[in-house]
Structure 1
Amino acid sequence: MKPSNLLKIETLNDEWLDKDVIILHACFQILCDCIEKENLFTSHVDWMYDDEHKNAKIEIENLYNWWNKRKLDNDNLENNQYEEDNQMLKKLIEFRQYLWT
């Protein structure tokens, strides 16, 4: 997407936030943009190529679906939600190599 040096985080407003919250929202905004605006699942990647690609698509879809529910929640987090957010961020990083369109 152009310009690639700007990221509009649609889930945040212009109020001050701690950086840990911004990191969460920024990373998942990139995922959403990749799927919604860059058509990740209908681009040149053959998601049926092998089991690795099939699994990656499933995991990316799960991350996307999780975020679309999670983003509606308040960022005043309980420890359980914070830990879940961290787990999902780590999983997103694991699969970032597949986010090319």
Structure 2
Amino acid sequence: MMILNIDNLDSDWCDKDIIMLHACFQLLTDFVEKEKAFNGHIDWEIDQEATNAKAEIQQLYQWWSTRKTLDNLNSIDTLETEQYNEDNRMLSRLIKVRQWLWT
């Protein structure tokens, strides 16, 4: 059995939509940080699709790094409509590049 530790959620109650967002971006974070996606063992320059995927993954990772920091500081309301819509847009973008999240 595999267990996914979500770094920035504590053991308090959390609704499934928020868990889903954090779980998906934890997978991205693990890919970038633990699997060291950009340390040269993946040829991101093999073609334009790979190059575009790398850029998108980097943008999503940067967005999430900022987003989770603000969340940890209680600087955002995760259920506020504008934030919720942005989270959904970014989650959709992440799903579109999931085929590239392997090493």
Is 1:18 aligned to residue 20 of structure 2?
no
Contact 2:32 2:38 in 1 (8 A): yes
Is 1:7 aligned to residue 4 of structure 2?
yes
Contact 2:44 2:51 in 1 (8 A): yes
TM-score calculated relative to the size of structure 1? 0.91
AA matched with 1:94: K
2:28 to 31, 55, 58: 31
AA matched with 2:95: I
1:16-57 CA deviation, whole Å, 9 max, x = no partner? 000000000000001000110011122532101111111100
Instruction: List runs of 5+ in structure 1 lacking aligned partners.
Output: none
TM-score calculated relative to the size of structure 2? 0.89
Instruction: Identify the residue that residue 64 of structure 1 maps to in structure 2.
Output: 61
Instruction: Identify the residue that residue 85 of structure 2 maps to in structure 1.
Output: 83
Q: Distance in 2 between matches of 1:51 and 1:75?
A: 37
Q: Once the two structures are aligned, what percentage of the paired residues are identical?
A: 55
Contact 1:21 1:75 in 2 (8 A): no
Mean alpha-carbon deviation: is it higher for 82-91 or for 4-13? 4-13
CA 1:47–1:98 in structure 2 vs 1: closer, same or farther (change >3 Å)?
Answer: same
Runs of 4+ off more than 6 Å: none
2:13 partner SS: coil
AA matched with 2:83: Q
Q: Distance in 1 between matches of 2:95 and 2:78?
A: 23
Computed over aligned residues only, the root mean square deviation of the Cα atoms, in angstroms, reads: 1.4
CA 1:14–1:75 in structure 2 vs 1: closer, same or farther (change >3 Å)?
Answer: farther
AA matched with 1:89: L
